[in-house]
Amino acid sequence: MARSPTAAPTSSLPAYIEPCLPRQVAKAPSGPRWVHEIKHDGYRLAVRIDAGEVRLVTRRGLDWTKRFPLVVNAAGELDVRSAYLDGEVVIEGDDGIADWVALHACASAGRCPGAILWAFDLLFLNGKDLRSLPLIERKARLFVLLGDQSHVGIRYVEHIEGEGQVIFEHASGLGIEGIVSKLADSPYRSGRSDAWQKTKSWQRDRFVVAGYIPNTGDPRLVGALVLGQWKSGELVPAGKVGTGWSVKLAGELAAALDTIRQPDPPFATRIAHNTHKGAKWVRPIVTVEVDHRGWTGDGLLRHPSFRGVAGTT
């Protein structure tokens, strides 16, 4: 008879563990082995606790402890000698849904006092390596560890059993980014894994900024970005995006784009005179990330939302 996996013998707590990453799929899996979690729209973050010292570690191993004081305080109050938690740090809006724009802004500034962690896995606990245990057992231990602490700076991510696609469609209808489906009996494995699969409500792609339309209430702010996409070496229109930034960022974007202004649209083909009325055109050197829900019949973005500046060429 096969023996059930057990936690590894006492071992030292690693400074960093490469996280398990889900594969993106078009349709959520279903079946008795799968459980499903809400995908929170934030930054992947590990909480490392060792003899009272708390460190917050990013997906790539950077120390972001000073950025999220509420998470640090909550971790410091846990009744534990050592632990390594995996989760997603977010800032929640008034509707309870993660506000990625607010998180990105405060994280870039170096401190997010209102950010919390949604914890979904427990890799080490009091000197024991739990990674070989089934996911469902690791989550059970995480639930016990957090207790009523989960309502403060660290919250436990519940899982749901059932038809994955039905759960995904319900989450999508609520405006949630998507779900992550996981094999309940799977061990924790660093790197990309088929045992974790994410289904997203939106696509995320990169586009070139062709220009901007000033805000009608304050022309010093960006009201919308006019977007393009390179195809066969030519820039073609992709529509525009008018949501997803703060007032501060709208001003910063306008100021930066004003330094690369040019008189005419940078598109390969001429656009109608009344298209993007009032637009200020720029050299096509700034790339941005945009979430969207696909394309219209005439090749423009559906329901786009700005995510951030990806770079400049």
**Interatomic CA distance for residues 144 and 22, integer angstroms:** 25
Q: In whole angstroms, how far apart are CA 222 and each of 80, 87, 211, 237, 247?
A: 48, 34, 10, 18, 9
Selection from 249, 261, 259 nearest residue 223 by Cα: 249
**Interatomic CA distance for residues 39 and 37, integer angstroms:** 6
Parallel, antiparallel, or unpaired for β 191-200 and 20-24?
A: parallel
Distant-in-sequence, close-in-space partners of 288: CB < 8 Å, separation ≥ 6: 206, 207, 209, 225, 227, 241, 306, 307, 308, 309, 310
Q: In whole angstroms, how far apart are CA 240 and each of 37, 68, 206, 247, 296?
A: 32, 33, 13, 18, 12
45 residue type, one letter? L
Would you call 39 a catalytic residue per the annotation?
yes
Selection from 87, 86, 91 nearest residue 108 by Cα: 91
Which is the catalytic residue, given 27, 39, 128, 182? 39
Report which DSSP code applies to 9: P
Catalytic residues: 39
